[in-house]
Amino acid sequence: MTASKKELPDDIYIPFVETLFRDGFTLAIGITAQMALITLAWAKTGNVAFLAVVLVLLIVGLLRVGSMRKFAKLPAITTRAEARRHENRYIFYGAMHGAALGTFCLVAIYTAQDGFAEIAAVCISLATATGIAGRNYGSPRMVIILIITLTCPMSLGFILRGDFYHVLLGLLSAPFLLAIHRYADTVRDVLFTALSAEKRANRIAGRFNRALNTMSHGLVMLGPNGKVVVANAEAAHLMLLKSPDALLGRSVRSLLKRGVAGGLLSPKDCRYVEGQLTRALHEGRDRKVLVSLTNGQHYEFSARAGNQELGVITFEDVTQRVEAEEKIRSMARYDNLTGLPNRAYFHEIVGECMASGDRERLCALAVLDLDDFKSVNDTLGHPVGDGLIYAAAERLGNLVNEDVKVSRFGGDEFMIFFNRVEDESHLAGMLDAIFAILQGDVDVAGHVLRLQASGGAVLSRVRDSDADAMIVKADLAMYKAKELGKNGWRLFESAMDAAFRDKQLLKADLRSAVEAKRLRVVFQPIVAIETMRIASCEALCRWDHPELGAISPAIFIPLAEEMGIISEISTFMLHAACGECAKWPSPIGVSVNLSAKDFRRRDVVDKVRDALAHSGLAPWRLEIEVTETALLDDKSQTRQYIEEIKQLGVRIALDDFGTGYSSLSYLHKLPLDKVKIDRSFLMDVTQNSHSLHLLKGIVNLSRPLGLAVTVEGVETYEQLKILSLEVKPDLVQGFLFGSALSASGIETMSNTVWPFAEEMRVAKR
């Protein structure tokens, strides 16, 4: 679609209208020439009409030229309506001009019948017609009006002459009319296309300029000669220049030299950066160069080869990114609380130390662990615990030098690496000095805490070991130091490694035994003190190792707790004990001890319920023993589980009563049926009156609460006698009544009365 056949957009239409008012000087010359020629025709013919036309042209010329001069002084057109008003005024004056010339042509050709007048009319028509398209293309209406007012009277004059040749000449004016109109349209279309292209180019240039100058990166483009041909505002800002134009014509070297001149960049770095960027541009490869300035800022330069031998260099201030990366790197390497190297970075440091220097030298690694740190966290809170760790780290951090590296390995554990050690005595001296520095009182948030630690160390030749192996051995030595009473250190010995390996093998065998159900259950009789007959029994777990024989529960039960499989053993014990008890004569019951870890899991109630369901045992014949350790972990949760078990009809006993810190509070807060007094109260009851009074007090305290009392650890007749005569518990158990029996042994002994019964009756008389 051409420009003439569609409504032009405002930004094209307004410039077109403005073209109508340009070059009033040539318009004035043209009108003057027209007036002169018509005046000659009047002088020759004496036709008064010609003189009238001259006067009209004079008036129209003054109006048109005055209108153009006035337009030139007005502000630029901003709206379409305003442009339309100016165009209408132009058309009005132009139509008057065209009508005056058309009138002259009609009179000169038809009325005057003068050869010179006819030639003058044709000349004026041709001369004016050639300027129609060039001057008036901006207004299609003006073009049409001028063509009609100018050529139609001339054609009419020829046709009115009446002869064949003049009529034909008049008719041939029509193609001439069309040609002029088409020519005007063509000019307008060409200019419309040019203006549209310019508009698009300006829009693209504006977008490019806006994008270029809103970039967060500085950017310069280099010509084939290596000089800057394009630069953006950020580049000028980073180079401390007022505008991008100040960068034009400069070379990469001159830009970098500004940094050297300002003392921000060393000449060496300047040459390096220039070389890297220049090489990248010449080789057509992308390359990035990070430059650190003396003021702490960091710039990253990127060079890219472009098209048409143009190169692009971008650069940005990456100080925040570099600082963030450095912070992240620091966080990845150093402990947030203490500022010491963390486990991973310490491992890297030790590896680098051991990889360099004399491979035959001795080195050492020590592990330190704060004693009783868990109790500080549990009683005073983690912030106080963190304060204690920080205090220890502060003291250990002062030891760091070229040959001594310290790390917080995690929790309350620290590592110290000694890169060069002369011998064992040298290491012992350094560790003793460290322990002397480390120990002492620390004030943390108003709490005076005693700082002490246990440690383990390993001494090794560099070529014979690595960091991982040394850490394992130092850990083993530290565990040994804790076993021997804490607050000291031990040097690794080969026997520790063997013991550790044996322990790991024993763990593996225990796991296999639990999974294969190769454990067995024995039962220790619990005897009623009045009848001296079995009233119940306690289920005890036994493990017969295929190679090592019987393993003491004191060994494998702690191992099972450490391995996290104690709950599997508890499940096995529940099912086995309930199954055997169901075969015994009523009312003999069975007691099963559940661990503290059992009460940390919601399924403990389901375990008891399932054991009763599978065995068919009456719930009242099953007794669950709860230790104070389980109650201390989570009192509210454990109490809920105990109450749910109690609702099943199962009895609840508090085991090892008196070994904790708050046993008395449990007697009225928990739904207990029985209290089992720990054997430690009975050990010296025959010689110590205080122990006797304490036992009697516990029994007298429990009875009013409806609690049965069992005394554990009865081993001699004298203990049984004093219990029967003075303390009077409900039940007793211990080796006096024999070792633990098998299930069939309990069934056999169910009706047996121990011979002590008669002696007890005699003694009571």
614 pLDDT higher than 90 = yes
204 pLDDT higher than 70 = no
Give the total residue count for the chain. Answer: 765
727 pLDDT higher than 90 = no
Provide the token pair at 656: 């090892």
Q: Tell me the pLDDT tens digit for each residue of 736-747.
A: 888 889 988 888
Give the pLDDT band of residue 523 (cuts 50, 70, 90).
very high
The pLDDT score that the predictor gives to residue 606 is: 93
The pLDDT score that the predictor gives to residue 764 is: 61
**Between residues 171 and 240, the one the model is more confident about:** 171
613 pLDDT higher than 90 = yes
Distances (CA, A) of 234 to 25, 223, 312, 499: 48, 20, 14, 69
With both helix axes pointing from N to C terminus, report the angle between 566-581 and 494-515 in degrees, rounded to the nearest 10.
Answer: 40
> Is residue 241 classed as helix, strand or coil in its secondary structure?
coil
Give the pLDDT band of residue 1 (cuts 50, 70, 90).
very low
Q: Tell me the pLDDT tens digit for each residue of 275-327.
A: 777 777 776 667 777 777 777 778 777 777 665 556 777 777 777 777 777 77
The mean predicted confidence, pLDDT, of the chain is 82
Rg (CA), the chain: 56
How many Cα atoms sit within 13 Å of 763 on the Cβ side?
Answer: 15
Among the residue ranges 179-188, 446-455, 516-525, 676-685, the one predicted with the least confidence is 179-188
- Vertex 378 angle, CA 377 and 384, to 5°: 30
Q: Considering only CA atoms, which of 104, 143, 194, 99 is closest in space to residue 4?
A: 143
Calpha distance 545→506 (Å, rounded): 9
Strand runs (DSSP E) across 273-359, as ranges? Answer: 287-292, 298-305, 311-317
Q: What average pLDDT score do residues 669-690 get?
A: 83
How many Cα atoms sit within 13 Å of 62 on the Cβ side?
Answer: 5
Contact status, residue 669 vs residue 639, Cβ threshold 8 Å? yes
The pLDDT score that the predictor gives to residue 694 is: 84
The pLDDT score that the predictor gives to residue 5 is: 46
Model confidence, pTM: 0.50
249 pLDDT higher than 90 = no
486 pLDDT higher than 90 = no
Calpha distance 68→73 (Å, rounded): 9
722 pLDDT higher than 80 = yes
Give the pLDDT band of residue 355 (cuts 50, 70, 90).
confident
Pairing type for strands 413-421 and 440-444 reads unpaired
170 pLDDT higher than 80 = no
542 pLDDT higher than 90 = yes
Contact status, residue 227 vs residue 254, Cβ threshold 8 Å? no
The backbone region for 249, taken as left when phi is positive above 0, alpha when psi lies in -120 to 50, beta otherwise, is left
The pLDDT score that the predictor gives to residue 4 is: 46
Residue 137: CB atoms within 10 A of its CB come to 25
Q: What average pLDDT score do residues 691-703 get?
A: 85
Q: Considering only CA atoms, which of 337, 370, 395, 339 is closest in space to residue 449?
A: 370
Q: Tell me the pLDDT tens digit for each residue of 76-98.
A: 888 888 888 888 888 888 888 88
660 pLDDT higher than 60 = no
Provide the token pair at 59: 């008036």
Distances (CA, A) of 524 to 64, 443, 550, 708, 749: 131, 51, 17, 18, 12
Contact status, residue 380 vs residue 387, Cβ threshold 8 Å? no
363 pLDDT higher than 90 = yes
Q: Considering only CA atoms, which of 417, 424, 409 is closest in space to residue 369?
A: 409
Calpha distance 547→463 (Å, rounded): 38
How many Cα atoms sit within 13 Å of 335 on the Cβ side?
Answer: 24
Strand runs (DSSP E) across 162-201, as ranges? Answer: none
Calpha distance 511→505 (Å, rounded): 10
The pLDDT score that the predictor gives to residue 285 is: 67
Q: What average pLDDT score do residues 448-457 get?
A: 89
Amino acid at 318: V
Q: Tell me the pLDDT tens digit for each residue of 33-75.
A: 888 888 888 888 888 888 888 898 889 888 888 888 888 888 8
Q: Tell me the pLDDT tens digit for each residue of 624-659.
A: 998 877 666 556 778 888 899 999 999 999 887 766
Q: Considering only CA atoms, which of 524, 442, 417, 481 is closest in space to residue 745?
A: 524
Provide the token pair at 547: 């190679």
> Is residue 492 classed as helix, strand or coil in its secondary structure?
coil
Q: What average pLDDT score do residues 140-167 get?
A: 81
Give the pLDDT band of residue 558 (cuts 50, 70, 90).
confident
**Per-range mean pLDDT, top range of 41-45, 188-192, 523-527, 737-741:** 523-527
**Between residues 191 and 42, the one the model is more confident about:** 42
The pLDDT score that the predictor gives to residue 177 is: 65
Residue 248: CB atoms within 10 A of its CB come to 13
**Between residues 414 and 252, the one the model is more confident about:** 414
260 pLDDT higher than 80 = no
762 pLDDT higher than 70 = no
Calpha distance 101→118 (Å, rounded): 13
With residue 36 as reference, give the H or E element that holds it: helix 24-45
Calpha distance 229→44 (Å, rounded): 68
Contact status, residue 252 vs residue 277, Cβ threshold 8 Å? yes
Give the pLDDT band of residue 209 (cuts 50, 70, 90).
low
Give the pLDDT band of residue 570 (cuts 50, 70, 90).
very high
Residues in Cβ contact with 278 at an 8 Å cutoff, skipping those fewer than 6 apart:
252
DSSP string, 208-238: HHHHHHT-SSEEEEE-TTSBEEEE-HHHHHH
Contact status, residue 393 vs residue 410, Cβ threshold 8 Å? no
Residue 251, beta-bridge partner list: 227
SS3 content of the chain, % helix, strand, coil (to 5): 60, 20, 25
Exposed, middle or buried: residue 452 (CB in 10 Å: 0-12, 13-18, 19+)? middle
Q: What average pLDDT score do residues 28-35 get?
A: 86
